[in-house]
């Protein structure tokens, strides 16, 4: 507020400036510019972000769309440090995956909290075979010290493949609601964990010709 020469009152409003995001900065929360390292990045993982990755798993095809793995979400906290062009990332990725038991299709939830420690190097520094195996998983066998190496290009670290990988690895090959799960009756579909099934096991037709054979006493 101020007074003019004639005694009038003027109110000056100072509106806060809205930060302008330069066009060259990463727009995805999973992208980190190399020039910003060292930095710690927290990302809330939305279900849709990894849905496509887990949807293509063989387990999804075996259980069906109603019982296959569905990501309920999660979060990632990653600390990045640099040594020249090499970027080191460590932290934790955790989440919850809804899935069905592979024997009785009872709904269940799997929670995981994995520590991660990986290295990002310029894509140009990777050997051609290593770069192809990392980017396309074409079956080239890597040494043990190369398994946790990710390439980056254009001075940009992409955490998305790392996060997706952890969610895919968290899905067990054959999830069980409990170790001694009895599964479903193949004839009537009853859950044998709830009550014993009274169905009789059908005879194997391959042995039908032996039904009338009497063994000598």
Q: List, for residues 135-180, the tens digit of each pLDDT value.
A: 444 444 444 344 589 999 999 999 999 999 998 888 888 899 999 9
Residue-wise burial string across 115-152, b where 16 or more C-beta atoms lie within 10 A, e elsewhere = ebebebbbeeebeeebbebbeeeeeeeeeeeeeebbbb
Whether residue 200 is predicted with pLDDT greater than 60 in this model: the reply is yes
Beta-carbon neighbour count of residue 110 at 10 Å? Answer: 15
Average pLDDT, the chain: 78
pLDDT on residue 31: 94
Whether residue 71 is predicted with pLDDT greater than 60 in this model: the reply is yes
- Average pLDDT score over residue span 203-212: 71
Question: Using an 8 Å Cβ cutoff, are 54 and 97 in contact?
Answer: yes
């Amino acid at each position: 507020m101020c007074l003019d020469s004639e005694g009038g009152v003027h109110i000056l409003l100072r509106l806060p400036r809205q930060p302008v995001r330069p066009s060259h900065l990463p727009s995805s929360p999973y992208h980190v510019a190399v020039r910003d390292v060292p930095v710690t990045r927290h990302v809330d993982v939305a279900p849709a972000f990894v849905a496509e990755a887990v949807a293509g798993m063989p387990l999804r095809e075996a259980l069906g769309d109603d019982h296959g793995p569905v990501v309920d979400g999660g979060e990632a906290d990653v600390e990045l440090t640099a040594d020249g062009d090499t970027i080191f990332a460590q932290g934790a990725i955790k989440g919850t995956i809804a899935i069905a038991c592979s024997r009785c299709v009872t709904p269940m939830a799997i929670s995981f909290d994995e520590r991660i420690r990986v290295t990002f190097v310029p894509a140009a520094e990777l050997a051609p075979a290593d770069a192809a195996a990392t980017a396309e998983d074409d079956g080239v066998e890597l040494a043990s010290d190369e398994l946790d190496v990710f390439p980056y290009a254009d001075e940009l670290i992409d955490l998305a493949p790392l996060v997706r990988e952890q969610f895919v690895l968290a899905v067990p090959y054959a999830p069980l609601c409990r170790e001694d799960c009895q599964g479903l009756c193949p004839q009537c579909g009853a859950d044998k964990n709830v009550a014993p099934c009274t169905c009789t096991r059908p005879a194997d037709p391959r042995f039908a010709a032996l039904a009338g054979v009497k063994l000598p006493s």
